[in-house]
Amino acid sequence: MRQGTLGIIAGGGPVPAQLAAAVAATGRPIFVLALDGHADRAALAPFPHAGIRLGAVGAGLAHLRAHGVTDLVLVGTVRRPSLLTLMPDAEGARLIARIGRAAFAGDDGLLAAIVRVLEEEGFRVHGVHDVMAGLTAPEGVLTARAPSAADETDILRGAAVCRLLGEADVGQAVVVQQGLVLGVEAIEGTDALLARCAALRRDGPGGVLVKRAKPGQELRADLPTIGVRTVEGAAAAGLVGIAVEAGRTLMPERAATIAAADARGLFLVARRFTP
């Protein structure tokens, strides 16, 4: 990657600040666009940054160009707004027109279109995992506890259902217990999925949360992510473990996430799922 100024379009969660700190430590100049209502402005305060609302595309592009940004990373959680509440500026309205039908599609279709438009604007867009090494889940059993044979069956079932969800560009996660799909992720996100499944848990061996990238997903945006809060939600829902896609799932708090799973007696495993 050529070493121009790296722009970070920051949503919520800890990864934007972690990425900013890691890149700044190398001496590379950075500039952060912190999305209002999503980004943790306090965590980003030590870095050159500006806050911006989602619809203010013209101002955002002007900030990036004024700071000499050549490369971009889109990172962090963003709850997708309704187009009726977005209130785009003139540049935002033109961007929506260029995105076309993808503005009304699933998240991955929309993000892929946004990446395309940003590259048309002259930026090089990269995945956070390409910029910050060691951020994705490594393959293998990561905890002291390993999945049982019954858990492996639930993992395979969950991976297959996730693939179908992904093909429809709906979600990235599913909860399976004893072969039964207790819930699938849609717009509510993984935390809400786990909270919902807590009331649906069956008697007997607990279930498994499975997360994987969508088939053909734009890997430079919206990779599946897990952290300590995911482990806490899985434990509260009565699950026995979590299975994610190796190399394509962000795990920014790797040591803390594994420790949290071990402390709660859950397994955490990363697999290379078949297509």
Distance CA 77, CA 28 (A): 24
Mean pLDDT by 10 residues, the chain (275 residues): 81 89 92 90 94 84 92 84 64 74 59 80 89 88 98 97 90 96 92 95 94 84 89 97 95 94 98 88
The two most distant CA atoms of the chain are separated, in Å, by 59
Neighbour count for residue 88 (Cβ, 10 Å): 18
Integer CA distances (angstroms), 71 to 17, 103, 127, in order: 17, 23, 11
Q: Which residues contact 79 (CB under 8 A, 6 or more apart)?
A: 38, 189
At residue 1, the pLDDT reads 45
pLDDT tens for residues 160-197?
A: 999 999 888 888 999 999 999 999 998 888 999 999 99
Q: Which residues contact 155 (CB under 8 A, 6 or more apart)?
A: 147, 176, 208, 210, 243, 269, 271
Residue written as tokens 């390409």? 130
φ and ψ of 146, to 5 deg: -110, 155
CA distance 164 to 177: 18
Question: What does the pLDDT read at residue 31?
Answer: 96
E strand spans, 106-179: 124-126, 140-141, 173-177
What pLDDT, on a 0 to 100 scale, did the predictor assign at position 264?
A: 98
User: Domains of the chain (ranges plus CATH)?
Assistant: 5-131 (3.40.50.20), 140-271 (3.40.140.80)
Phi first, then psi, for residue 108 (nearest 5°) are -70, -40
What pLDDT score was predicted for residue 274? 83
For the whole model, what pTM was predicted?
0.81
